Chains A and B, each alone.
Chain A
Amino acid sequence: MFETWSDDLMCGLMTALDVVVVDYGDSADGVLVGEPPPWFLRFLPESKAGLEGLSISLGEHFLYLDSFLPDAEDFWDSAEDGRMKSGIWTESDLDGKTVHLGATVLSVSGRKLLLIERLRGRFEREREVIQKARAGKLDSQRKANEREREAAGLRGINEELEEAVADRTRELSLTNRLLREEISDREQAVARANELRQQLEAESRAGALGEIANQLAHELNQPLGAIANYLRGGLRFLARDGVHEGRAVEAIERSLVQAERAAAIIQNLRGFIASGRVDYEPTSVNGLVRDVIRLLQPEIDRNDVDCRLNLTSSLPKVTANGIQAQQVVLNLVKNAIEAMSGLDPADRLLVVSTSRAGDTEIEISVHDFGSGPEGLDLDQLFEPFYSTKVEGMGLGLAICRSIAESHQGSLIADPSPGPGLTFRFKLPIRVETHS
């Protein structure tokens, strides 16, 4: 080491290198060698900045050395020549300026030296190398995190999609089940409605039988009475010595005609009340109307109704069940008669018409001159158990519309201008025969 510490060259060299040299000699007090550089003085308080009489603890003003100097003493105590370097440290001087420093402990021929060096470029180079390496690692980690986050995001989206699909599938499954149940319910309801309709139709026919029983009795009374009269007349002619045999035969033949008429009336009645298989066949609407009017003629007469038929000739036949179609017309005519019961007999006019309705249908209309639709809910008229009559069950028109629709026809109430109300019963000209 140096022969004398006051050697200008060596001290100048240390100053030029920004190195502070402290000689600890044989005691704990260190001796500052040479002129300390300005950066070193900025760690010392003003009062101790002067070189004369400087007595200061390095450990107090260099916080790092407070911990490092015990290591240095241990090193010096080992009595071996050599050196020990401190790590790099950074401290702030009294002006708050950060300074990067490094220390070296030297043991040379029993001399205890401490070198404190201010690090400039070396510190920056070392930091740059480390930082570059770490920045690369950090960047890799950041990218890995981003990839993981993206993957997690994709997993999340995928899970959400799967969940949404599962939810939708569950909803669809539920909807499907509900639809199946609804379809089943509707099918059951339709089946039940058909069953009820058939029951109602049968009951209605039975009810209608009761209603027309009197009329039938009245109608049968005439041919039966005629038969009885003709037969009595025939017997009288035969009792007169065979002279009037020819007249007796004539009386018997007439009674036979009346008997056949009565049989036809009864046959008609039997067909009317029979339920079960429904046969459709080409039917003349004009004939159908005439049959109904003939059947109701006694009632028409009893009620002093002026019944007029306005039947279009040469109408094509409809394919219908004659008995059911008659039942509809019969109901409509009876309703019309009842609708006019409150009118003066002179005003009781009933018009039953037949006509073509377009290319595919024939219309039977029943028009009365009663009080008309005023106060009536025309839609409700066809609902079951809706009745404007005190004693009515409210099934007649409902059944009639049901029959019309079962023929693929229609039945409506038409509030046409003028007095009264018109019911229009349409039947298709061609309908497939069905059961």
Chain B
Amino acid sequence: MLENVSLAIASPSAIGNPMIRKKVCLLGAYAVGKTSLAARFVHSMFDEKYLTTVGVKIDKKSIQIEDRDLDLIIWDLAGEDEFVRVRTSYFRGAAGYLLVVDGTRPATLEVADALRERIRSAVGPLPHVVLANKSDLVDDWHVADTDLQSLVEDGSKLFRTSAKTGVGVEEAFDALAREMIRSEA
């Protein structure tokens, strides 16, 4: 016979985990490279094959920022389009986010802008950085610098990244983590 087992829903602080846990969301249109950026950051890996994310993929990476241990819980949200709509509930509890655009597809800037508005409406202003990804595809780059600058008019930082080569990826996550710590103070 099976026995019933009691489970407790406990917050990390209740367990006494000294690690600071921060939920960060990766937002952007589909196929901008959010999953690849997470894989590069968490596992230092890159896979050329495109596999669309369904729902959300959650990863974790521990980092140290300014002598503080930080657990980044990375919510890699499915890209939004006419087939998939990002649940606003996914934003709950987020401490910051990375807004990703694809430098080879100008239309991804509009999606990014709309997502930023939605997360603002849902949870208020949060620390965030903007990633112009696929910087390795120089010949296919179609996004003007002025358009990218319009995405960071709110004072956020812009990073040109390549999940394929790793360029700018660590720097972007590091900048977001510092921003989250600063905003906490």
Give A contacts to B, CB under 8 Å.
Answer: 5-6, 8, 11, 22-23, 28-35, 51-52, 54-60, 63-64, 66-71, 87-92, 98, 100, 102, 123, 126-127, 129-131, 133-135, 137-138, 141, 145, 148-149
Chain A residue nearest to B73 (CB atoms) is A63
Asked if B58 contacts A90 (CB within 8 A), the reply is yes
Closest Cβ neighbor of B57 among chain A residues: A90
A88: which B residues are within 8 A, CB to CB?
54-56
A55 touches B6 (CB 8 A): yes
Determine if A67 and B5 form an interchain contact, defined as CB atoms under 8 angstroms apart: no
Contacts of B104 in A (CB 8 A): 145
Where the two chains meet, the residues of B that have a C-beta atom closer than 8 Å to any C-beta of A are: 1-12, 14-15, 23, 30-31, 50-60, 73, 81, 83-84, 87, 89-90, 92-93, 104-105, 107, 139-140, 142
Given contacts A58-B9, A59-B9, A60-B12, contact A32 B52 (CB under 8 A): no
Contact assessment for B142 and A123 in the assembled complex, using a CB-CB cutoff below 8 Å: no
Contact A28 B55 (CB under 8 A): no
- Chain A: which residue is nearest B10 at the CB level? A57
Query: A residues within 8 A CB of B87?
Result: 87
Assembly CA distance A52 to B10 (angstroms) = 19
From A11, A28, A29, A57, contact of B2 by CB (8 A): A11
| Whole-angstrom CA separation of A141 from B108 in the bound complex | 12
- A89 is contacted by which of B7, B8, B10, B55 (Cβ under 8 Å)? B55
Residues on A with C-beta less than 8 A from B92 are 67, 70-71
Quick check: A127 and B4 within 8 Å, CB to CB? no
B4 lies within 8 A of A33 (CB): yes
Q: Do A54 and B7 touch (CB < 8 A)?
A: yes
B31 touches A138 (CB 8 A): yes
In angstroms, Cα B8 to Cα A32, docked, is 10
Residues of the B chain whose Cβ atoms lie less than 8 Å from the Cβ of A89 = 55-58
* List of B residues within 8 angstroms of A123 by Cβ: 54
Taking a contact as CB atoms under 8 Å apart, the answer to whether B10 and A31 are in contact is no
Residue contact B52 to A131, C-beta cutoff 8 Å: yes
Contact across chains for A130 and B93 when beta carbons are under 8 A apart: no
14 interchain pairs, CB-CB under 8 A = A5-B4, A6-B1, A23-B4, A29-B6, A34-B2, A54-B5, A58-B7, A60-B15, A71-B89, A88-B56, A89-B55, A90-B56, A141-B107, A145-B105
Tell me the complex Cα distance, A126–B11, Å. 32
A63 near B60: Cβ-Cβ < 8 Å: yes
Chain B residues near A54: list those with CB within 8 A: 5-7
The residues of B that contact A92 with a CB separation of less than 8 Å are 59
New A-B pairs, 19, CB < 8 Å, besides A5-B4, A58-B9: A30-B9, A31-B7, A32-B5, A35-B2, A52-B5, A56-B7, A57-B11, A59-B11, A63-B60, A64-B58, A66-B93, A71-B92, A87-B56, A88-B56, A89-B56, A91-B57, A130-B83, A145-B105, A148-B142
Per the bound structure, the CA–CA distance linking A133 and B82 in Å amounts to: 10
Residues in B neighbouring A6, C-beta threshold 8 A: 1-2
Q: B9, B50, B93 — which one has the most chain A CB atoms within 10 A of its CB? A: B9
Q: Cβ of B5: which chain A residues have Cβ within 8 Å of it? A: 31-32, 51-52, 54
> Once bound together, how far apart are the Cα atoms of A323 and B78, in whole Å?
111
Min C-beta distance of A117 to chain B, whole Å: 13
Which among A55, A63, A134 is the interface contact of B81 at CB below 8 angstroms?
A134
* Interchain CA distance A30-B4 in the complex, whole Å: 10
Residues on the B chain within 8 Å of A29, using CB: 6-9
A133 to B73 alpha-carbon distance, docked (Å): 30
Nearest Cβ in chain A — how far from B84, in angstroms? 6
List of A residues within 8 angstroms of B54 by Cβ: 88, 90, 100, 123, 126-127, 130
- Contact in complex: B52, A130 (CB < 8 Å): yes
- CA of A59 to CA of B9, assembled, Å: 6
Give Cα distance in the complex from A29 to B8, angstroms.
4
**Complex Cα–Cα for A29 and B4 (A):** 12
- The closest CB in chain B to the CB of A31 belongs to B4
Closest 9 CB pairs of A and B: A88-B55, A57-B10, A30-B7, A32-B5, A54-B5, A90-B57, A131-B52, A87-B55, A34-B2
A133 contacts across to B, CB distance below 8 A: 83
Q: How far is it, in angstroms, between the C-alpha of A266 and the C-alpha of B115 when the chains are bound?
A: 118
B58, A91: Cβ atoms under 8 Å? yes
Q: Write the nearest CB–CB distance from A47 to chain B, whole angstroms.
A: 13
B84 contacts across to A, CB distance below 8 A: 130
Contacts of A100 in B (CB 8 A): 54
**Please, how many angstroms separate the alpha-carbon atoms of A32 and B3 in the complex?**
8
Say which residue of B7, B57, B83 sits within 8 Å of A55 (CB atoms): B7
Chain A residues within an 8 Å CB radius of B56: 64, 87-90
CB distance from A106 to the nearest CB of B (A): 16
Cβ A32 vs Cβ B83 within 8 A: no
Q: Are B31 and A134 in contact (CB under 8 A)?
A: yes
Complex: A137 Cα to B31 Cα, angstroms = 11
Bound-complex Cα distance A92 to B76 (A) = 13
Chain A residues with CB under 8 A of B105: 141, 145
Which residues of chain A come closer than 8 Å to B81, judged between CB atoms? Answer: 134, 137
Q: Is the CB of A60 within 8 A of B10?
A: yes
Least CB distance from B83 to A in Å reads 5
A11 to B3, CA, bound (A): 11
| Chain A contacts for B107, CB-based, 8 A | 141
A22 touches B58 (CB 8 A): no
Instruction: Give the residue name and chain of the B residue nearest to A87 (CB).
Output: B55
